[in-house]
Structure 1
Amino acid sequence: MSDSTFLMYLLALAGAFLLPGPDMALVLATGAARGVATALVTAVGIAGARAVHVALSGAGLAALMVTHPQALQWVKWAGAAYLLYLALRLLQSALSSKTAQEAAAPATAHGARASLVRGFLTNLLNPKALLFCSMFLPQFVVGSEQVGMQYLRLGAVLVLMGLLFDALYAVLAARLARRLRGKPSPYGKFVLPTVFVLLAGRLVLG
């Protein structure tokens, strides 16, 4: 790949990651509600799912799902169900009798693991992410030699760049939340559950 083509690839990726989407919304909401550390762990989970999508698109699974729309629909419903489940769990936690001090306590290893899994499954169960990889990456494969290595390099850049953008969103959201902390809202604890419900609706209706 020439330098100009690679630069075009990077710019196209940047444009894609700057567009509002489920991953951005999840990281921003998590950073604002849970802090930068939890949001960064969630971003790592999303990056892991992106790597799986790159591998699956390279294996041709995306094309198979397009030819079998029913399978694609099942994945969408599974993703929406998982997001609604997360919203319910978070809502139960928000309505529980935990004190503010407990809620602000540092994340435990279990909490970090849950955030990692949440980010991973939220992206993995979004079939649009798989279709994006299958349609976007082949456009930048040059020639017919070493296609696998080209795909691997392009996929690695996609995953790393996505992680960089998500980390930036996590830091920005956490900093903004800290600035607004002096103006507490009784509805702040419902932000994250609401985001998950909206993401579920977007996934089903999109």
Structure 2
Amino acid sequence: MDTSTSIMYLAALAGVFLLPGPDMALVIATGAARGAGIALVTALGIAASRAMHVLMSGLGLAALMAAHPGALSLVRWGGAAYLVYLAVKMLRANLQLDTVADVAPKAGASFVRGFLTNLLNPKALLFCSLFLPQFVSAGGASVPMQYLWLGTLLVLTGLFFDALYALLAARITRRMKSKSGMGKYVLPAVFVVLAGRLVAS
């Protein structure tokens, strides 16, 4: 891409990632409930899932899913069920900030949670299939290389914004932390809301 197109593309990505959405809600809620470290791992899981969406859209799976509404609905309901499952599971757990001893196992679970939450959102896959081709030039470099470059920029830009949200949420929460015990309900509530939004979309 030339410089002007690159700037336009990055500006469009910034606009997308500044809008409230499931990924933003997840990293903010995780940062508020469990601290910056776990939230950053969740952001890495989301980034890995975005990379998968870029790959799948490049392979044409997004178009296939769009052509078969039944498959789209199946993925959507599966994603909603997974989010509700996470909410129920977390309500049974203590969501206080992690100690050094249990960061490693919870970090792994947080990565998987971020990855699956984004992966099971069919709108994210459809977004890649509709957004990326608009910046591919038929007269430029090979289309696969352009798609790879655009996808890499998308993943890295998204990771930057998610990491920023995670750090800000954790910092603000540390300053405003109360002793009401309500913090353990933050993530479960977010997952229930995201499940409802996914089904309704």
Task: Give the TM-score range, shorter chain.
Answer: over 0.9
Q: Secondary structure at the match of 1:143?
A: coil
- Secondary structure in 2 aligned to 1:119? helix
Match of 1:177 in 2: 173
TM-superposition CA deviations, 1:169-197 (whole Å, max 9, x none): 0000000000012x322322101100000
Task: Give the corresponding residue for 1:164.
Answer: 160
Match of 1:110 among 105, 112, 118: 105
The one-letter code matched in structure 2 to 1:105 is T
Q: 1:4-27 deviations in whole A, cap 9, x for unaligned?
A: 011000000000000000000000
1:124-143 to 2 correspondences below 5 Å? 124-143=119-138
Please give the TM-score of this superposition, normalised by the length of structure 2.
Answer: 0.96
Shift of 1:72: 0.3
Spell out the pairing of 1:80-91 with structure 2 (5 A cutoff). 80-91=80-91
Which runs of 5 or more structure 2 residues have no equivalent in the other structure? none
Q: Describe the SS at the equivalent of 1:93.
A: coil
Alignment of 1:1-206 (within 5 A): 1-94=1-94, 104-106=98-100, 107-144=102-139, 145-181=141-177, 183-206=178-201
Q: TM-score, normalised by structure 1?
A: 0.93
Q: Provide the aligned length of Structure 1 versus Structure 2.
A: 199
Cα offset for 1:104?
A: 4.1
Q: Distance in 2 between matches of 1:18 and 1:120?
A: 20
Q: Which runs of 5+ in 1 are unaligned?
A: none
- Alignment RMSD (CA, Å): 1.3
Identity %: 65
